[in-house]
A and B are shown apart, each in its own frame.
Chain A
Amino acid sequence: MAEEAKILVVDDEPDTVLLAKRLLEMENFQVITAYDGEEALRKIYSEHPEIVLLDIKLPKKDGYEVCKEIKLNEKYCNIIIIMFTAKIFDSDREKGLELGADYYITKPFSGKDLVALIHEIIEK
């Protein structure tokens, strides 16, 4: 995987999406965005990103559902899903893990951490 990796950022908060986009674009990643669960799925099916940054709290379909759907889908289950979790609820982490999320990152996140994580993923 090269710097051309496509990353989908999903969050219902536009500023957060923008932040992530900026950070990633700075690293020359290709970034697509979505603001709700259904859009996310649509974008996944149409754009085939390698990585998905997924928030839990989303309108229409929440992060869990998206994760589940993707991971159960033969065609798309190899997409790496990084979930945003709120630190307060450990249960989120577990649930996410159960559903097949690959990584976690807590909000608020530092740009450095995010980038480091992406690189880590790509190297694999």
Chain B
Amino acid sequence: MENESALSITLETIKNIISEGYLLTDLNGVIVDCNETFANYLGTNLDNLIGSNIQDFLSDSEFLFSSKFFEELSSRKKLAHEVSLKANDIIKAVIFNIASLYDKSNNPIKILFIIQEVPSNLSSKDSTSEYNLVNVFDMFLNAILIIDFSNRIIFTNNKAEELFKVNCKALIEKNITEILPGIENFLSFDTAPTDEERKSQLIETNFNLPNGDQRYLCVRSFPMLEGSILILSDQTNRRQFEQRLKDSEEKFRSIVENAQEGIWIIDAESKTSFVNQYMADMLGFSGDEMLGKSLLGFIDEEDIKLANFYLARCQQGIKETHNFEFLRKDETKVYANLKITPIFNENGGYEGAFAFISDITEKRLIELRLKESEERYRLIIENVNDLIFILNSRYEYEFINEKTLLRTLEYDKEDLIGKNGLEFVHPDDKTRAIEKLTEGFKRGEGIAEVRVRKKDGTYAFLEAKGQIFIDKNGESKAVVISRDITERKKIEDNLKDSEKKYRILFEKIPIAITLLDKSGGIIDCNKAIEELVGYSKEEILQKHFEELMTLYPKDFPKLMGQYERLVKGLEVEPFDLVITTKDGEKRWVNILVSILTQESGITGFQIIANDITARKIAEETLKNLMEEIKQQNQKLKELDKAKDEMLEIISHELRTPLVSILGFVDLLSTNDSNLTEEQKDHMKILKRNTQRLNQLVENILDTDKLEMGKTILNIKSFDFQKLINSALKELYYRIKQKMHKINIDIPPNFKIQADEELIHQVISNLLTNAIKYTPDRGTISIKVKKQGLKILFSIKDTGIGINQEDIPKLFQKFQRLPYQEERHIGDVKGIGLGLYFSKKIIELHGGKMWVESVGINQGSTFYFEIPIQS
């Protein structure tokens, strides 16, 4: 300090401009001066304080104004001391930065106190570094430079020396711009005459000091009488700190913002004081929308009770993790995991909470699905009909489906779990079971059929299929599915029995049976077959059915037809085949084929073969006989034909001469005037015999014709009476000769339809017989009667009659009665064809002829009956 006036001005200035509290006391503590700030600390005003003792406002003031105090003060020049200021009823902790003011003789005359509150948001360390190190002894906490109007420095303090790292002498007289380059850009240095008109200015910026340092200074300039006073506050550290804080804050911010988790901070009222972007995004809100809003506003109504419960716990200081549902902006739900940490202040007061929140909706979904799927598998396993169980490599049960177990083997799960599976296996099956298990574990899979003991002691037949797997611990285990095949086994046994029975039957039966597969190969046969074909069973089984058959080309189409039907599954009728035995013998068999089918279709054929060789031979023989007969018939026909031809020739050849003979004889006899009586007789004889001959020829030809069926009836309508009359007329001479009496009884105009000529012959024949066999003066009665659709003709004579026993012979061919009456001249002796012929004619008309005779010499009546319309 160079002059006192400067000091008092400076003090004055300081008092008003510093932000800290300013107190000036005498050496006893009586307050000489103070500023508003100080007054505010004490909660009173300036005027009250002037004159009172500072020690009245301190709670512990023993140290202050003691001899020790002054000793330290003189040695150290400056002090920092924490005191408790009583302000109304509040006690505040403050730091006094103390310095003494000296007179010219370097005797302390006053004490200067600069007061500050203990900072709460900065570590005490920092505050110390910032404030406690202030060189109070210089009475200026900050560097002070006083400049004149030419901007020359006229005053500095120690702090300024420290700041600029030079002696104050180096600063005095220098231009401010040399010391603080660039200051002129910020502060305007007026040269206005009055202080009032000049402004106080403030700038905070970096300055490159002449000593090479770069320092962040807060420069406050206050106009003074002769210039300006610049108070430089070195904020570099603070700035650095701030920067660090800013950096760390930024880092923190960056961490918070980039966290892959939501960060949500609530205050004591559960209102959102902070959310990071992640959290905001999780709920679909913007950060601003969430800020200040209650946590409960993001929760579904029904969850609020629970939320409050958790909050209460949090407030109690319980740090825990919960899963909770939040409502998003679009009202969908988000499932989140919250790691909550409550926040307390140093008084233990709850100030809110801090939580890391992760969205586990996805995870939860996966969990649910997993659970569902697990449930499903469980359901399946528990409800299948087969036993599913897991054995470890020691064959102990580790898992088994309960329900099925109970149902099939009647055990509870506990009966089995942990026990060795082999305990329950049937003693006879144990060895095999062990084999199968060891093999199975080696190979990775296996199947076995074993009997397992049920709870009631009986055994069930199980078919077990196992697969080996490695569990999560790396151990080999087997998962086995077991099916109860007891029923099936029973059926199999029954089947075996009935198969046995069938086989016995098959083998023993004397009928030859063979079984073929689908394509005709022989798969089985019985003894009877062996006997039939002469091969042994082994030989037969290697053959195809066709190899035993002998195929004749003519049989081929039929056989193919049968095959085709069989292949389609259509039944065929039994049919015949030829087989060739081992010895080369040919045998005929009748084959009965049955088609064997299953669901899959045709599986084969069963053939029953009957040896029909004998029958076939018989048939063959028969056939041959038939053939012979046919040939014979043919021959007969030919003979017949030959006979006919012969007859034709005969008829023609015989007739031709007869024509002449008869004709000329006739001619001669008509022209008989030149003949002698004897000659006339001769002529008669000639004529008679010729006629006889002619008649014979006619008869033979007629009869033959009739027999051959060559007679065609020439049916026409004629008057029966006329016919009879005609016949009578022809025989008139004979009748007259024998003096027979003829009676005729016939309806008038009686017409019938028949072959006129043939009926004529019949009547002639009957009439001739009647005349011939009736002695002279006999009676011949002809009667014709209508009987319904038939007519009955009868001719009764009073002749020699017929023996009863001869009657049947009468109508036979070439039959003549042995007894004859005396021959009259002119009687033509028949050859026995007449009645035979007549009967045949009548029968041809569909009628009948018969005779009645009582006996010898009692006459006979010949009848015939024909339809009126033949």
Encoded as 1 (CB less than 8 Å from any A CB) or 0, chain B from 649 to 670 comes to 0011001111110111011001
> What's the least CB distance linking B716 to chain A, in Å?
13
Report the separation of the CA atoms of residues A91 and B739 in the bound assembly, to the nearest whole angstrom. 41
Contact in complex: B667, A23 (CB < 8 Å) = yes
> What's the least CB distance linking A36 to chain B, in Å?
16
Contact in complex: B663, A111 (CB < 8 Å) = yes
Residue B199 interfacial (CB < 8 Å): no
Contact partners of A109 in chain B: CB under 8 A: 659, 663
Contact partners of A20 in chain B: CB under 8 A: 663
> What's the least CB distance linking B722 to chain A, in Å?
17
Contact in complex: A15, B666 (CB < 8 Å) = no
Residue A86 interfacial (CB < 8 Å): yes
Q: Which residue of B lies closest to A57 (CB)?
A: B652
Residue B694 interfacial (CB < 8 Å): yes
Contact in complex: B701, A87 (CB < 8 Å) = yes
Contact in complex: A19, B652 (CB < 8 Å) = no
> What's the least CB distance linking B699 to chain A, in Å?
11
> What's the least CB distance linking A97 to chain B, in Å?
12
Contact in complex: A88, B647 (CB < 8 Å) = yes
Contact in complex: A16, B659 (CB < 8 Å) = yes
Contact in complex: A108, B655 (CB < 8 Å) = yes
Contact partners of A111 in chain B: CB under 8 A: 663, 666-667, 670
Report the separation of the CA atoms of residues A86 and B648 in the bound assembly, to the nearest whole angstrom. 9
Q: A13-B656, A19-B667, A22-B667 are in contact. Are A87 and B698 (CB under 8 A)?
A: yes
Q: A87-B698, A90-B714 are in contact. Are A110 and B662 (CB under 8 A)?
A: yes
**For residues 10 through 37 of chain A, which have their beta carbon under 8 Å from a beta carbon of chain B?**
13, 15-16, 18-20, 22-23
Report the separation of the CA atoms of residues A111 and B664 in the bound assembly, to the nearest whole angstrom. 9
Residue in B663, B670, B705 whose CB lies within 8 Å of A108? B663
Contact in complex: B659, A15 (CB < 8 Å) = yes
Residue in A15, A16, A88, A110 whose CB lies within 8 Å of B705? A88
Contact in complex: B664, A107 (CB < 8 Å) = no
**For residues 660 through 709 of chain B, which have their beta carbon under 8 Å from a beta carbon of chain A?**
660, 662-664, 666-667, 670, 694, 698, 701-702, 705
**For residues 346 through 369 of chain B, which have their beta carbon under 8 Å from a beta carbon of chain A?**
none
Contact partners of A57 in chain B: CB under 8 A: 652
Report the separation of the CA atoms of residues A112 and B669 in the bound assembly, to the nearest whole angstrom. 12
> What's the least CB distance linking A82 to chain B, in Å?
15
Contact in complex: A88, B667 (CB < 8 Å) = no
Count B interface residues, CB 8 Å. 23
Q: Which residue of A lies closest to B652 (CB)?
A: A86
Q: A87-B698, A87-B701, A90-B712 are in contact. Are A110 and B666 (CB under 8 A)?
A: yes
Q: Which residue of A lies closest to B648 (CB)?
A: A88
Q: Which residue of B lies closest to A90 (CB)?
A: B712
Q: Which residue of B lies closest to A16 (CB)?
A: B659
**For residues 71 through 120 of chain A, which have their beta carbon under 8 Å from a beta carbon of chain B?**
86-88, 90, 107-112
Contact in complex: B662, A88 (CB < 8 Å) = no
Contact in complex: B662, A108 (CB < 8 Å) = yes
Contact partners of B647 in chain A: CB under 8 A: 88
Contact partners of A19 in chain B: CB under 8 A: 659-660, 663-664, 667
Contact partners of A107 in chain B: CB under 8 A: 655-656, 659
Contact partners of B655 in chain A: CB under 8 A: 86, 107-108
Contact partners of B667 in chain A: CB under 8 A: 19, 22-23, 111
Q: Which residue of A lies closest to B698 (CB)?
A: A87
Report the separation of the CA atoms of residues A34 and B809 in the bound assembly, to the nearest whole angstrom. 50
Contact partners of B651 in chain A: CB under 8 A: 86, 88
> What's the least CB distance linking A87 to chain B, in Å?
7
Contact in complex: A108, B694 (CB < 8 Å) = yes
Q: Which residue of A lies closest to B711 (CB)?
A: A90
Contact partners of A90 in chain B: CB under 8 A: 712, 714
With a 10 A CB-CB cut-off, give which of B663, B664, B670 has the most chain A CB atoms.
B663
Residue in A87, A88, A108 whose CB lies within 8 Å of B659? A108
Contact partners of B694 in chain A: CB under 8 A: 108
Contact partners of B648 in chain A: CB under 8 A: 88
Report the separation of the CA atoms of residues A87 and B710 in the bound assembly, to the nearest whole angstrom. 12
Report the separation of the CA atoms of residues A66 and B263 in the bound assembly, to the nearest whole angstrom. 146
> What's the least CB distance linking A99 to chain B, in Å?
18
Report the separation of the CA atoms of residues A57 and B653 in the bound assembly, to the nearest whole angstrom. 12
**For residues 41 through 87 of chain A, which have their beta carbon under 8 Å from a beta carbon of chain B?**
57, 86-87
> What's the least CB distance linking A59 to chain B, in Å?
14
Report the separation of the CA atoms of residues A124 and B74 in the bound assembly, to the nearest whole angstrom. 211
Report the separation of the CA atoms of residues A111 and B670 in the bound assembly, to the nearest whole angstrom. 10
Report the separation of the CA atoms of residues A112 and B656 in the bound assembly, to the nearest whole angstrom. 18
Report the separation of the CA atoms of residues A102 and B667 in the bound assembly, to the nearest whole angstrom. 26
Listed from nearest, the 9 A-B pairs whose CB atoms lie closest are A15-B660, A19-B663, A108-B659, A108-B658, A108-B662, A88-B701, A16-B659, A13-B656, A111-B666
- Known pairs A15-B656, A108-B658, A108-B663. 9 more at Cβ < 8 A? A13-B656, A13-B660, A19-B660, A19-B664, A87-B698, A88-B701, A107-B659, A108-B694, A110-B662
24 contacts between A and B (CB under 8 A): A13-B656, A13-B659, A16-B656, A16-B663, A19-B659, A19-B660, A22-B664, A22-B667, A23-B663, A57-B652, A86-B651, A87-B698, A88-B648, A88-B651, A90-B712, A107-B655, A107-B656, A108-B658, A108-B694, A109-B659, A110-B662, A110-B663, A111-B666, A111-B667
